[in-house]
Structure 1
Amino acid sequence: MDRFRFFLTWSVVISMDSALPGALCWGKEGHYATCKIAEALLSKAAADAVQQLLPDYAEGDLASLCSWPDEIKFWHKYHWSSPLHYIDTPDFRCNYDYSRDCHNAQGERDMCVAGAINNYTSQLTTYGTLSDERYNLTEALLFLSHFMGDIHQPLHVGFTGDLGGNTIIVRWYRRKANLHHVWDNMIIETAVKDFYGSNLTLMIQGIQANISDIWSNDVSTWERCSTNKNASPNPYAVESIGLACKWAYRNATPGTILSDDYFLSRLPIVEKQLAKGAVRLAATLNHIFSSKMVDRQIAII
């Protein structure tokens, strides 16, 4: 689809300044955490490919660019990409179906976060082949990395009627907010401030420790792709709408004051979703690029 092909420009360097840890506003902190954790889980082949695809100004840090798709989605030139960040599901059904739900407002199929993950994964499989000139694989890498984070934020697979919680106005402690923003940013921001000394790196290290310890028996299940493909976004979307119904929407009606009870019970969900997104991003990139390395070795032989 031509709509998926566009090109990085040096103007992106300016917008990327706000994506770095010191200027973080799964907003930017969530995407940075997902990609930073994933980087540490990459195989050598995948890490080498990622380094080759990143622009020089990233200085080898995938996480520093993982918010790029959010930076450009409102630009006129790239406005078409906005529907790729989420999936709207029927109100109160708490289920997801790709054929029913993966489309934009004009009804164009595959224009949702699950469709985008499929598309950019497919593009990256051309890496190292004659076909890779058809695509901008740097952009494919950044989009895939970002969208793997988005699909694990429960309200990015939310109800159509409230735009994934965007029209549900609540108070986060004393601050007015919408429910989607609470899950995108405020739960993480509050946790970083209250539990990690305003240091996102410490939160990332805590999640990494849980992956190695508390969740270690679950990691192989998270990585598994039931369809035997490079990525399996549909099960991720099913998980997210289930969590949205059970945790995000619950006790969060318009005008509700969300404070300690909501925050402390939802933070473990957020941290685990960040972990799942990271593990699955790394597994996807490892599968793509490790297989490419094998293909190259066979070709040399």
Structure 2
Amino acid sequence: MEFRKTHILSFIALLSCISVAHSWGVDGHFITCKLAQPRLSKAAANAVSELLGDNDLASLCSWADHVKFRYHWSSPLHYIDTPDNLCTYQYNNNLTEALLFLSHFIGDIHQPLHVGFTSDRGGNTIDVHWYTRKALLHHVWDDSIIETAEERFYDSNVDELINTLHKNISTVWANQAKAWEACSKTACPDIYASEGIKVACDWAYKGVSEGSVLEDDYFLSRYPVVNMRLAQGGVRLAATLNRIFG
């Protein structure tokens, strides 16, 4: 287990070094971990079970958001900021907690506005309206797009959304999923962050300014992007844990 602990902690340290706070909302993290669980190798699944006991990984995937006030050092690890309008990314305890941080941070790095611009704190200072409700642009990507999709398409049932993503990963995204898994190291956060800032520029920030009203045009064009990032996060979390635990 010491070997495994070293690999998990090394990955968390790597995220820290790239100066990676808000995050995917509860549903976003739940979905990411739920997508990862059935893709775990037997060794990885056994290791996760040993660390978490009777707890389900997905149910604990937001744990890192709840301990920011206890572990103050962890708060800046949930995001990466880039210089304004630079739409490319450049690299610059115990084992159970390490696993939960790792699972959470892989989800976070796939939320595009966690690689957002410095001056607006990843959309946290951009006030918009999500349909008729006031919201921050960051919150729209953390929660609102996912919640609106659940309400509109899945009768507010997150499990139905997860089932759809599972099916897409094994069918329409099957070839892409193999590419998402590929990594010559334990994990490849530089790749994930590079994708994130491109999505932030192309989709999250595009056409949005202070006071924008975001409705169906924005939602229907951005929802597939959110789905893809959730799927990528789940596939890569599983692949990372499989590499760690063998």
**TM-score, normalising length: structure 1:** 0.73
Q: Specify the structure having the higher radius of gyration (Cα).
A: 1
Percent identity (aligned): 63
Tell me which residue corresponds to 1:115.
none
Tell me which residue corresponds to 2:88.
95
Distance in structure 1 (CA, Å) of the matches to 2:220 and 2:132: 16
Letter of the aligned partner of 2:124 in structure 1? N
Displacement of 1:97 after TM fit?
A: 1.2
Distance in structure 2 (CA, Å) of the matches to 1:60 and 1:93: 41
Letter of the aligned partner of 1:143 in structure 2? F
1:276 corresponds to 2:211:
no
Distance in structure 2 (CA, Å) of the matches to 1:252 and 1:61: 38
SS at match of 1:197: coil
CA RMSD of aligned residues (A): 1.2
Match of 1:144 among 102, 123, 146: 102
Displacement of 1:277 after TM fit?
A: 0.2
Tell me which residue corresponds to 1:294.
none
Match of 2:35 among 11, 34, 37: 37
Displacement of 1:60 after TM fit?
A: 3.7
Tell me which residue corresponds to 2:4.
none
Tell me which residue corresponds to 1:117.
none
Tell me which residue corresponds to 2:74.
81
1:236 corresponds to 2:192:
yes
Tell me which residue corresponds to 1:214.
172
In the alignment, structure 2 segments of 5+ residues that lack a partner are 1-7, 10-23
Q: Deviations over 1:52-100 (max 9, x none)?
A: 111x4xx241000000011111x1x31111100000100001111121x
Tell me which residue corresponds to 2:64.
69
Distance in structure 2 (CA, Å) of the matches to 1:195 and 1:138: 35
Letter of the aligned partner of 1:188 in structure 2? I
**TM-score, normalising length: structure 2:** 0.90
Task: Show structure 1 runs of 4+ deviating over 2 A.
Answer: none
Aligned residues: 225
Match of 1:256 among 212, 216, 229: 212
Tell me which residue corresponds to 1:16.
none
Tell me which residue corresponds to 2:126.
168
Displacement of 1:182 after TM fit?
A: 0.1
In the alignment, structure 1 segments of 5+ residues that lack a partner are 6-25, 100-134, 291-301
Q: Which has the higher contact order (CA 8 A, sep 6+)?
A: 2
Distance in structure 2 (CA, Å) of the matches to 1:71 and 1:217: 36
SS at match of 2:145: helix
Distance in structure 1 (CA, Å) of the matches to 2:35 and 2:175: 18
Tell me which residue corresponds to 1:197.
155
